[in-house]
Every structure is written in C-alpha cells, then in structure tokens.
Amino acid sequence: MRKTTIMHMMCTLFIGLSIHTLQAQQTIPAKMLTIQGRAFPSAPNFHRLDTAKYNDLPPTVKKLYTHPTGLFTSFKSNTSKLAITWETIDAELGNNSTPIMSRGFDVYVKENDDWRFAGVARPDLHNAKSTYTLIDHMATSEKEFLLYFPLYKELLDFNLMIDDKASFEATTQFFDKKIIVYGSSIVHGASASRPGLAYPAKLSRKLKANVVNLGVSGNARMELSVADMLNTIENPDLIIMDCVPNSSPQQVAERTFEFVKRLRERHPHVPILLIESITRQIGNYNLQWKQRLADQNINFRKEYERLLAAGYKNLYYLPTDHLIGDDYEGTVDGTHPTDVGFERMVQIIQPKIEAIWNAKGGAH
C-alpha cells in the first residue's frame, strides 16, 4: 500500500510539474509577426509572391515561389527561452542539403547594429510537424531577434514559444536599398547549412539592404514571363541576374538580350548586374560539363557586350573568376556551394555591389 501511495504521489507531482511547464510559456502565432524579405507584401501565407496573379509563369517556377526562401521576421523579447512549432507541406528532404536549411529555421540576435547567430530549429525527419528549442538559458535582458524561414519547403504555419511573463514586440527592419536576386538553386540557397547562410541573406546582413531572394532551383531560364513578374516589383535599387547555371548555352544566347530588354521597359535606369555561372567543380574531370560551363559563360559575355553595343546603360558584369575560390573545395557536390563557397561569393559580390552604387552609370 505504501509503495502504491508513493507512486501515486510521484505521478501527481510529475503531472503537476508538466502542467506548470506547459503553462510557463506563452505562444506567439505567426499572424502576430511581420513577414519581411519579399518583394510583394500582399503575397499569401509564406509565399514569395501571389502566383495566381502571374498565370504565364512556368508551373514549376510558380511552385518554387511558394517556398519562403529569404523570408524572415524580427521581434524583441526578454525571454530566456525561444522555441518554435511549425509545419511544412511534407517531410521530404533533398540529397545535397541539410534538413535545417531545407525545412528548419535559424535565429540571430542584434549586437551593436549587427546580427550574431544564436541557434537553429531542427525539423523532425519523419513528420511535417516539428517542435524545437532554438535557444534557452538566455539572460532576461531585452534582445531583438531575426528569424530566417526554411529555404526549400513550403511553410504552412508556425508559432513561437517564449517565457510566460516575457515581453514581446514584433519589429520591422527598414532598409535604404532593395536588391532583387533572380537565379538558380545557388541563389535559392543550395547547399548552405542553414537559411541565414545562403548568399542573398549574407549580403543582406553585410550591406544592411533588403535583398529579395527570387531563386528558383533548377528553373532559372530567363523566360519573359519571369521578366514581366520582376517588372512589377516597385523601386528596386539593383537587379542581379545569376541565372546562367540553369540555362543551356543556347538559351543563354537566345534569351539574355530579350530578358534585359524586357526589364528595361519598366526599370530603364535601375542597375543590372549579370553574374556568370560559378566554375562548377564537377567539370574538373567531366569534359562535357566543363564545355557546357565554358559555352554558357562565353555566350553570356557575348550577350552582355551586345547589350552594350545596342546602347543599354547601367549594366554591370561579374565573371566566374575566383567566385567560389581556387582550391576546388567550395562546393558540396561539384555544383552547389558550401558555406565556405557562399562566403567566398559574398566577398566578391559585395564589393561589386558597393562599386555599382558608387558609380554614376555606364558599364563595368
């Protein structure tokens, strides 16, 4: 009898502690936060654009724009613990990416007007619904958090969980410049280890600019319907075309001129930066890939020069040289950059952007 009584008391205590733990937090639904980092504030859910408004976009491109790639939210709180529950459309994962990058989150904290990495949310590998503590045991001073969304999976919903008595204030980041990056899986974020390390996100933090990620993995082929969509974006300060990797050499030759021409119909003076394909290390010994890359970039350069000859201004060009380094260690699979590869790209692309903004026009 005594043993039964003790067990009963222990169970009661455990249940009480569990209830107390559940009660000792508050839930912040996503609707209380401001979704940032996208070109179209009216986009539904966590999509990058309202695909229903762009009927002419290729179906796969439309699907990829339901991914919350590059989106983020920010808020202030004095919580000691930050956790998150979320659901993605499914639990599938790519074979050259981390689960955190594809379906998870990472969070930064503002320190002296810069952002410092603080933690990640690791997704459940078998279920579309996940729960994870990004960081705990923090000091209870007020901090501002920056939370990046998954790069490669449609996000259905999420809730933040903070201390029961903690303060909470949704914040909005304000930027002087807006950059639109259209491109391939490399722009999309493959194969960063986590969302905040994709090169558009890194550029955003380093430049303190709103860098809108419009990467479409495997599908950046310069269709004019995409140019028309880009033309509906208001007041960009720079448009980056990093789309060569997905376009065949023939498509590069046939579409680059017309794509830029179409962009100029709506954005006649906005600087446009054309970036060659990175040197794919898969071509170190695969001669077919090596030739394809050479032809892609040769044709891209020819079209750039043809645009200049036709009188187009404010066009800039970045060759593949050194973009992911010269030691053959910058990619996961011979194509998609590692975090090291992305950092090397940023070290070259960032100064180019700063030079463009300091220039008075022309071509470089």
How, if at all, do strands 272-275 and 210-215 pair?
unpaired
CATH, residue 325: 3.40.50.1110
Write the pLDDT tens digit of every residue in 234-257. Answer: 999 999 999 999 999 999 999 999
Write the pLDDT tens digit of every residue in 260-285. Answer: 999 999 999 999 999 999 999 999 99
In the chain, what percentage of residues exceed pLDDT 90?
92
Higher pLDDT, 70 or 9: 70
**Which of 238, 257, 345 has the alpha carbon at shortest distance from 299?**
257
10 Å CB burial of residue 55 (0-12, 13-18, 19+) is exposed
Please give the model's pTM, rounded to 2 decimal places: 0.92
CATH, residue 131: 2.60.120.260
- Specify the residue for token string 């000859």: 309
Write the pLDDT tens digit of every residue in 287-325. Answer: 999 999 999 999 999 999 999 999 999 999 999 999 999
- Specify the residue for token string 């996503």: 30
Question: Would you call the peptide bond into 18 cis, given omega within 30 degrees of 0 as the criterion?
Answer: no
Contact 256, 300 (CB under 8 A): yes
Residues 6+ apart with CB under 8 A from 57: 51, 65, 223, 225, 226, 229
Report the distance separating Cα 224 and Cα 232, nearest Å: 13
Report the distance separating Cα 309 and Cα 307, nearest Å: 5
Report the distance separating Cα 306 and Cα 256, nearest Å: 10
Within its chain, how far is the Cα of 261 from the centroid? 27
Report the distance separating Cα 248 and Cα 233, nearest Å: 27
Its domain, for residue 216, covers 178-358
Are 241 and 102 members of one domain?
Answer: no
Written as one letter, the residue type at 296 is Q
Are 77 and 160 members of one domain?
Answer: yes
Are 160 and 300 members of one domain?
Answer: no
Write the pLDDT tens digit of every residue in 325-334. Answer: 999 999 999 9
Within its chain, how far is the Cα of 22 from the centroid? 33
Residue where a domain terminates, one of 171, 199, 214: 171
Question: 111: helix, coil or strand?
Answer: strand
User: To 10 degrees, what angle do helices 249-266 and 287-309 make?
Assistant: 30
Structure tokens that stand for 105 in this block: 């989150």
pLDDT of the residue at 17: 42
Write the pLDDT tens digit of every residue in 192-251. Answer: 999 999 999 999 999 999 999 999 999 999 999 999 999 999 999 999 999 999 999 999
Residue 42 lies in a domain: yes
